[in-house]
Amino acid sequence: MAVSFLENVKQKTELELDVLKFRIENFNKPKFKCPICGYYGPFRDLDLSTGSTVKHEKCIRCGSWTRHRLQKLVFNELFQEYDPSTKRLLHFAPETCQRERIPLLFKDYVSADLMMKDVDVQCDITNLPFADGEFDFVLASHVLEHIKGDYKALSEIRRVLKPNGIAVLPVPILGKNTIEYPEANPNEWDHVRCPGEDYYDRYLNFFSVVKQYTSKDFSDIYQIFIYENRNVWPNEPCPLRPPTEGEKHIDIIPVCYV
Ligand SMILES: [Zn+2]
């Protein structure tokens, strides 16, 4: 116990030193506030395998990306009228920066994924091993763009939800119209399609209401826009992604009601 306590203190101290070093090295960059961990300062830029760069993307303290910060703000709003502490959550493909925080919000928590070993249930999202109506809430963030049979996955998510269930199923929106790929692209983390603004229309085949929250619904201070040079596409790593002008793009979180 004493060793793990000391190890914990050591890790926290090292993290704070890294945060301090990053703040000093990037003192002239824009500053933002992380709604997840409370950090205030510059965020980290990321060079991606897609050939693009996203600026101000990663919180240096908790590791959150734009999508996680926007989800947190959407949840804050949602949970003003919906009490998660009495609800059962299925969290598909839980990200490292979400794993400590999200389970604490809900009464019961089940993590699941096809490839990850450290989850409660290893399973295929197009063939869930759960009974009908087992969950109140499903969270699967940036999962469906990896799933060829996304309609089957949506049908399964709908099946395991209770009659008044909610699913939060964001994907990256990267253009006007969704483009299906002939095969998974390893340069895009094995995405099988490029979801466009029309993608969430598919959810209406399974849910009665799909409410879309965007980066414009909350304060800029939280850095919930995607600052990415999307005019580099199509390029060699992403031959089927469409180009988009501008360097500041909205992220969209769909909240789906059964
Ligand atoms: Zn943070």
pLDDT along the chain (258 residues), means of 10: 78 92 96 96 97 97 96 96 97 91 96 96 98 98 98 98 98 97 98 98 98 98 98 98 96 98
Q: Are strands 249-250 and 252-257 parallel, antiparallel or unpaired?
A: unpaired
pLDDT computed for residue 3 by the predictor: 66
Domain positions in the chain are 31-257
What is the per-residue pLDDT across 107-116, written as a single tens digit (0 to 9) for each? Answer: 999 999 999 9
What kind and span of H or E run contains 162?
A: strand 161-168
Q: Using the mean position of ligand 1's atoms as its centre, give its distance from the Cα of residue 6 in Å.
A: 23
Q: Using the mean position of ligand 1's atoms as its centre, give its distance from the Cα of residue 95 in Å.
A: 14
Q: What are phi and psi of 191, to 5 degrees?
A: -65, 140
Asked if the peptide bond before residue 35 counts as cis, ω within 30 degrees of 0, the response is no
Q: Using the mean position of ligand 1's atoms as its centre, give its distance from the Cα of residue 66 in Å.
A: 10
What is the per-residue pLDDT across 12-31, written as a single tens digit (0 to 9) for each? Answer: 899 999 999 999 999 999 99
CATH code of 31-257, in short, is 3.40.50.150
Q: Using the mean position of ligand 1's atoms as its centre, give its distance from the Cα of residue 173 in Å.
A: 23
Q: Using the mean position of ligand 1's atoms as its centre, give its distance from the Cα of residue 9 in Å.
A: 19
Q: Using the mean position of ligand 1's atoms as its centre, give its distance from the Cα of residue 253 in Å.
A: 19
Q: Using the mean position of ligand 1's atoms as its centre, give its distance from the Cα of residue 159 in Å.
A: 34
What is the per-residue pLDDT across 130-174, written as a single tens digit (0 to 9) for each? Answer: 999 999 999 999 999 999 999 999 999 999 999 999 999 999 999
Q: Using the mean position of ligand 1's atoms as its centre, give its distance from the Cα of residue 221 in Å.
A: 13
